[in-house]
Amino acid sequence: MSVERPTLDTVAKAAGVSRMTVSNAYNRPDQLSAATRERVLAAAAALGYGGPDPAGRSLRRGRAGTIGVILTESLSYAFTDPGLVQFLRGVGDEMSAAGQAMLLLPADADDDGSLVRSAIVDAFIVCSIRDDDPAVTAVRSRHLPFVSSGSPRLPAAPYVGIDNRKAAVLAAEHLLALGHRRLGIVGVPEEMPVAPDSRVVRTRQGFAERVAGFVATAAAVGIDPDSVVVAYAETNAVDSGAEAATRLLGRRQRPTAIFAVSDVLALGTLSAAASLDITVPGELSVVGFDDIDEAAHSRPPLTTIAQDLREQGRQAARLALGLVEGKTTRSRPWRPHLLVRESTAVAPRSRRGTGVTAVTGDAVVRDLRPSRPGATH
Amino acid sequence: MSVERPTLDTVAKAAGVSRMTVSNAYNRPDQLSAATRERVLAAAAALGYGGPDPAGRSLRRGRAGTIGVILTESLSYAFTDPGLVQFLRGVGDEMSAAGQAMLLLPADADDDGSLVRSAIVDAFIVCSIRDDDPAVTAVRSRHLPFVSSGSPRLPAAPYVGIDNRKAAVLAAEHLLALGHRRLGIVGVPEEMPVAPDSRVVRTRQGFAERVAGFVATAAAVGIDPDSVVVAYAETNAVDSGAEAATRLLGRRQRPTAIFAVSDVLALGTLSAAASLDITVPGELSVVGFDDIDEAAHSRPPLTTIAQDLREQGRQAARLALGLVEGKTTRSRPWRPHLLVRESTAVAPRSRRGTGVTAVTGDAVVRDLRPSRPGATH
DNA sequence: CAACCGTCCTGTATCGTTCCAGACTGTATC
DNA sequence: GATACAGTCTGGAACGATACAGGACGGTTG
């Protein structure tokens, strides 16, 4: 037993052939006779040779056969976010199909970008990381193709994602059309510390845009923006969402409708309402965001802004794989839509006037649409 | 703009230094003067050099800085299994801490093991894949250290996981102690086709052992093993679980207690019961397996066999990282335990005799414990 | 003045593979 | 009998990086 790992040369010598023949035995069986191949593989087995070293191959070929996925947060947190998991699932779909592997890189363990710099990949997919994060800087400096996804849209890179502001408008329109005038929002701070002990990852999943879009839409029909109270959850987790919603629902004039900037938070909101014996949608309407799997199975099933995160993941992967091949496909922005389930209903009869003229839902919706469609591009 | 990517040599020539000095500018700033370093980096930037190529480094250093995680199924399916996600989360914890990345390899896209053979990693973690799967064969042939996890325990490799049979005994003991005698099981076929269009991955997450352990325990107190009906779900998913449970609950003599071999299936069972207006735990007790996050939040909260999958992931990662360093740490087998929440209760008064002598819970439990503890090791 | 120091930098060898051009067979073709 | 031609196999030259040994140099020391 030698400590040295055998190489193509070792095997070649043992089998009495050239190095190249050994390589061919593994990679191009048609380039040598079956007998020779047999002999070579036998020699390799005897030496405990593990097959051509991928590191050598990757160097020579100039391809890694791997796409790097850079996650906003620690891997640990990433897996707790069902939306992100859906996205990764989509990426995985395409990777499997392309026979490639995916390398998961946590941005939070990578203050100096060293993980990114040492990743043996052909391209990157960057998930919801701000432009000024060291991980993004590192990606740029690698001069490898990359795709940005989620939010924000990184300059000079193909982007997969939705317009969060516009998406939130859909939620607001829906609730206003149902007659709701006392509105609340469960949000997440712009820069969310992922865990108490982790550095503040400069993440931005578009939560702020969602809040802004919602408030602006409400304001457009005469609702005082300051009356739309935003309760911030500490993190994007069910428990935090429940905690924030409890604060909102404990207020003197509690809202009749809550927009949660993610389904996870919306689930927390449902749970908070249940604890306080507030019926949904009878006394409280709840709209979520993302349409994660659980949204369909909650009680009641969640009305939400659906963005097909899995398909977005697929598209991001296709884009990245295409870039490796030198294709510069452009992707169209993604279209979210409102998915009405059972967590929203007509506003309960208010105990006092709201000061806002009642309008029919349809009228409101029409009024709120951009007057010059497409001009916002 | 040249098509050629610049290398250390290109930069060295441009900066008027040796190749090694450029390398040091990136990797060992203390090995050269600040002025030279500045000059080198400026030249690199001007040329659009992306920093030392990790492929070359990996070849030379003989380390990849990456652990490969081989998943039973397509990446797509993997992300839908909360238990597996928890495990991956644990792996991620350790990887982040060690400053390493994790490479996700779907076994199903890898009929011939080519993905495994071309993975640039220092070690593998194999998740719930049978010994005879091509992916496992490929791992073996790589002669790299690897850890097996879940089930089955692969020969000659460190293992992280529980004894599924013993774990299921805990579930059976609990239900029997509550007086249940008409028992049902929601299981998953031994070889589960992950998706209609995918090859049959030869997976085994220990589901069969769980069924066997449960039935044997019931038999030990005089229950006819054939009376313990097993309904097989097509896949390990909530909907499939609900479908299987519905079959079980539609039987003439419907069971008063159901053991689901995973929490996901148990959640499906709860949902099926709700649809059929069967109260849990009043008319039906349900025990799950895994203790995924959702188990605590279901209605009612799920009694389950807890195995700390996240911690198992951590341990698997530590083991793998250790093996790379040449440490041959041995791990002890993992200990599952029964976590009683609110989905189980004393059996409803039976409408007819069961033919089994009533025994107290405690007595049953004691009787069922192995007579020679430790002898099964 | 020789010996020696630390700092900064260079040159060569090597990691394990694959590409490429060509050489050597033996058979078929003109 | 020369030519062409697959089918096999070989040796040299990259691929892009790092390890390592050592050289140049200005300065200190005895």
- Which residues does residue B105 pair with via DSSP β-bridges, in sequence order? B70
Asked whether residue B198 carries a pLDDT value surpassing 50, the answer given is no
**CB nearest B115 (choices: A101, A103, A294):** A101
**B18 at A interface, C-beta within 8 A:** no
Euclidean distance between the first and the last CA atom of chain B, given in angstroms as a whole number: 66
Question: pLDDT digits over B21-53, tens only?
Answer: 999 999 999 889 899 999 999 999 999 999 999
Q: Give the CA diameter of chain A.
A: 95
Checking if the pLDDT of B226 tops 90, the result is yes
Residue A113, C-beta contacts closer than 8 angstroms, at least 6 positions apart? A134, A135, A137, A138, A139, A141
- Inform me whether the C-beta atom of residue A114 falls under 8 Å from chain B C-beta atoms: yes
Please tell me the predicted confidence (pLDDT) of residue A3.
56
DSSP state of A5: P
pLDDT band at B268 (very low <50, low <70, confident <90, very high): very high
List chain A residues with CB under 8 Å of B80: 89, 293
The alpha carbon of residue B363 is apart from the nearest alpha carbon of chain A, in Å, by: 39
- Residue A359 or B75, more confident: B75
Q: Give me the CA B45–C1' D25 separation in Å, rounded.
A: 30
What value, to the nearest 5°, has the Cα angle with vertex A194 and ends A190 and A199?
A: 95
Say whether A257 sits in a helix, a strand or coil: strand
Q: Is A223 on the interface with B (CB under 8 A)?
A: no
**Which residue ranges form the domains of chain A, and what is each CATH number?**
66-160 (3.40.50.2300), 164-306+340-368 (3.40.50.2300)
Three-class SS state of A184: strand
Please list the helix, strand and coil fractions of chain A in percent, rounded to the nearest 5, in that order: 45, 15, 40
Which position has the higher pLDDT, B376 or B322? B322
Closest CA to B200 of B260, B268, B129, B140: B129
Quote the CA–CA distance of A174 and B268 in Å, as a whole number: 31
Buried b (16+ CB within 10 A) or exposed e, A8-29: bebbbbbbebeeebbbbbbeee
For residues B237 and B268, is the Cβ–Cβ distance under 8 A?
yes
- Tell me which of A26, A77, A120, A142 to substitute to probe the interface with B (most B C-beta atoms closer than 10 Å): A120
Residue with tokens 């043996």: A120
Measure, in angstroms, how far nucleotide C16 C1' is from residue B144 CA: 16
Sheet holding B229-232, edge to edge: B229-232, B183-187, B257-260, B285-290, B303-306, B337-339
Which two tokens mark B8? 């250390």
What is the model's pLDDT at position A342? 97
Distance from CA of A251 to the nearest CA of B (A): 26
**With a 7 Å cutoff on the CB, does A32 touch strand D?**
yes
CB contact under 8 A, A106 and B95: yes
User: pLDDT, tens digit, for every residue of B82-96?
Assistant: 898 899 989 988 998
Nearest CB among B50, B90, B294 relative to A141 is that of B50
| DSSP secondary structure letters along A20-74 | HHHHHHHH-GGGS-HHHHHHHHHHHHHHT--SS-HHHHHHHHS---EEEEEESS-
- Cα–Cα distance for residue pair A173/A59, rounded to 1 Å: 55
Quickly state the pLDDT bin for B377 (edges 50, 70, 90): very low
CB B266 within 8 A of CB B287: yes
**What residues pair up with B106 in beta bridges, in sequence order?**
B71
Measured to protein CB atoms, the chain D nucleotides within 7 Å are: 7-12, 14-20
- Determine if residue B52 is left, alpha or beta; phi over 0 gives left, psi from -120 to 50 gives alpha, anything else beta: beta
**What's the pLDDT score for residue A370?**
33
Residue A34's nearest nucleotide, by CA–C1', is: D8
Chain B residues 27-46, Cβ below 7 A from strand D? 27
Is the four-CA dihedral A223, A226, A229, A232 of positive or negative sign?
A: positive
Protein CA at B33 to nucleotide C1' at D28, angstroms: 21
Q: Does A101 touch chain B (CB under 8 A)?
A: yes
Q: Distance from A50 to chain B by nearest Cα, in Å?
A: 4
A2 CA vs D4 C1’ separation (Å): 49
Can you read off the two tokens belonging to residue A338? Answer: 């409102």
Angle between helix B207-220 and B164-177 (nearest 10): 40
Distance from residue A33 (CA) to nucleotide C29 (C1'), in Å? 25
**Which among B115, B143, B238 has CB closest to A99?**
B115
**Rounded CA gap, B288 and B342, in Å?**
12
pLDDT digits (tens, 9 = 90+) for A158-211: 999 999 999 999 999 999 999 999 999 999 887 655 444 444 454 566 888 999
Centroid of chain to Cα B7:
42
C-alpha B367/C-alpha B260 separation (Å) is 23
Q: Are B197 and B68 in contact (CB under 8 A)?
A: no
Q: What is the pLDDT of residues B293-348, one digit of tens each?
A: 889 988 899 999 999 999 999 999 999 999 999 888 777 778 999 999 999 999 99
pTM of the model: 0.85
Q: Round the average pLDDT of chain B to a whole number and report it.
A: 86
B23 touches strand D (CB under 7 A): yes
Q: How high is the pLDDT of residue B366? A: 29
Nearest to B89 among A65, A76, A115 (CB): A76
φ and ψ of A112, to 5 deg? -105, 5
| Among B122-136, B167-181, B356-370, the least confident range | B356-370
If contacts are CB pairs under 8 Å, which of residues 282-311 in chain A contact chain B? 293-294, 297, 299
Sole residue written with tokens 């055998």: A6
> Is B86 an 8 Å CB contact of chain A?
yes
Per-residue pLDDT, B354: 45
CA of A191 to C1' of D17 (A): 38
CA–CA dist A43, A38 (Å, integer) = 9
Q: Which of A64, A57, A52 is nearest to A26 (CA)?
A: A52
* A17 in contact with nucleic chain D (CB within 7 A): yes
Residues in chain A: 377
**With an 8 Å Cβ cutoff, is A61 touching chain B?**
no
Over its length of 377 residues, how does chain A's per-residue pLDDT go in tens digits?
345 789 999 999 999 999 999 999 999 999 899 999 999 999 999 999 999 999 999 999 999 999 999 987 667 677 788 898 899 989 988 998 898 999 999 877 777 888 999 999 999 999 988 888 888 999 999 999 999 998 778 888 899 999 999 999 999 999 999 999 999 999 988 765 544 444 445 456 688 899 999 999 999 999 999 999 999 998 888 999 999 999 999 999 999 999 999 999 999 999 999 999 999 999 999 999 999 988 998 889 999 999 999 999 999 999 999 999 988 877 777 899 999 999 999 999 754 334 443 333 333 332 232 333 333 33
> Looking at A324-328, B181-185, B288-292, B361-365, which range is the least confident one?
B361-365
